[in-house]
A and B are shown apart, each in its own frame.
Chain A
Amino acid sequence: MGCGADEVVAALRAAAVVVAEHREELVRLDRAIGDGDHGENLHRGFSAVVSKLDGSAPATPGAVLKLAATTLISTVGGAAGPLYGTAFLRAATAVGDAPELDAALVAGALRAALEGVVARGKAVVGDKTMVDALTPAVTAAEDVAEGGVDVAAVLAAAAGAAEEGARSTEPLVARKGRASYLGERSAGHLDPGAWSTSLLLRSFAGGAR
């Protein structure tokens, strides 16, 4: 089973719903150790993505991802705008103009997204950032993609690993982003960026089924 432009659009719409549902939670997490705007920013960004998708229907998965990227960059603000924007942009480039995504392409897109986030934010695993969720997600996606499963299984594996990775940020002391100014006081809180990464991958996994 493949995954065409319509399925990618459906995944982004599902993401917008999940972000709206979790807006308050993300605001609360970000208020604890950041500037408190993460939930609001992502909600604004994904609402704008849905509006763009309502107005146009890109023909390929890559074109859909690119539309999401440029929209997120110009609407999200904060660190999440450049980071998620870069992630989607790299993913779009990785899948090229393929009409349908298979498991290997999805795993490759996730790998490209991670590399983009690392290049943009200069964070490594353990810094208490979205990299802590995305890195195990990519590894899990690549592992199952090798076994010849479908896209839904790749995304499910990625989502599961991302959630575990996000939860692992709770005891960490932040070394990147606004939370790093708090030093030891940043420990004991989930990282909002890692948590939103986990939520997004979970929504993609749901939308791809």
Chain B
Amino acid sequence: MIGLVVVSHSRRLAEGVAELAGQMAPDVRIAPSGGDGSGGLGTDYAAVAEAISRADSGGGVVVLYDLGSARMVAEMAAEEAGTPVVVADAPLVEGAVAAAVAAQGGASADEVAAAARAAYHAGATPAFAAPDTDPLAGAAGDAEVPAPSTEDAVRSDVVLTNDVGLHARPAALVARALAGLDARVLVRYGEQEADAASVLALMGLGAPGGARVEVVATGPDAAEAVRRVSALAARNFDE
């Protein structure tokens, strides 16, 4: 499983982002590295290198950073690391959450980094208008892949019978349940639709408890994808 490192100028910021992302991905090693090593704001090369070792469980590490020099320190540490490291140019908070969920789903380092980068566009509505055509967190604007509104789509109406609807934890469960499936899955709520692979896009729908959403999937595993989402909802998302 891919590990994550969160590099920030601030120790508390790094720890907070790691905590937030970890809530979505209980099995992913997330190592925060913040501050200059002596209690002040800054970045510390040795600490970042050490965090990469801590986060690595053999499969490689994806590093997220806050500001410019943190990127440089991360890139230097990545070059020197004894494990494959991808430094992701992504928003820190949304990117870390998206990366953690992708890593939890067993994605590769490149896929985890792509999920983090795609978080720039998730959350914003409609998620599918995002210009980024990343395959993992995908966008329906992609010309080569038919949008899931075509004839062969598998659809199902799902009622969110849990209390919080598609809030953070249920959204993470949905995204994780779809990891590894060869399917493009949309969740529609009212006029909005979200890529079901993106926790942030799902949360961005704002679908509350009691709401009825439509799940639309295309691709070879479309039926299985819809079945999994429906099953999660039927179990009240394990609440």
A interface residues (Cβ-Cβ under 8 A, vs B):
35, 37, 41, 73-74, 77-79, 81-83, 85-86, 120-121, 176-178
Contact = CB atoms under 8 A, between A and B. Distances in A.
B42 A120 contact: no
Nearest to A86: B76
B13 to A, nearest CB: 15
B76 A77 contact: no
Interface in B55-100: 67-69, 72-73, 75-76
A73 B43 CA distance: 11
A82 B72 contact: yes
Given A82-B45, A120-B76, A121-B72, 14 more contacts: A37-B42, A41-B42, A73-B45, A77-B42, A77-B43, A77-B44, A78-B43, A78-B69, A79-B68, A79-B69, A79-B72, A82-B72, A120-B75, A177-B69
Given A73-B45, A77-B43, A78-B42, A178 B67 contact: yes
Interface string B13-38: 00000000000000000000000110
A82 B68 CA distance: 11
B41 A81 contact: no
Interface of B: 36-37, 41-46, 67-69, 72-73, 75-76
Q: Is the interface of A mostly helix, strand, loop or mixed?
A: helix
A82 B42 contact: no
B68 A81 contact: no
Nearest to A180: B68
A37 B41 CA distance: 10
A176 B42 CA distance: 17
Contacts of B73: 81-82
A190 to B, nearest CB: 19
A54 B69 CA distance: 29
A35 B45 contact: no
Nearest to A82: B72
Contacts of A82: 45, 69, 72-73, 75-76
Nearest to A79: B69
Given A73-B76, A120-B75, A81 B67 contact: no
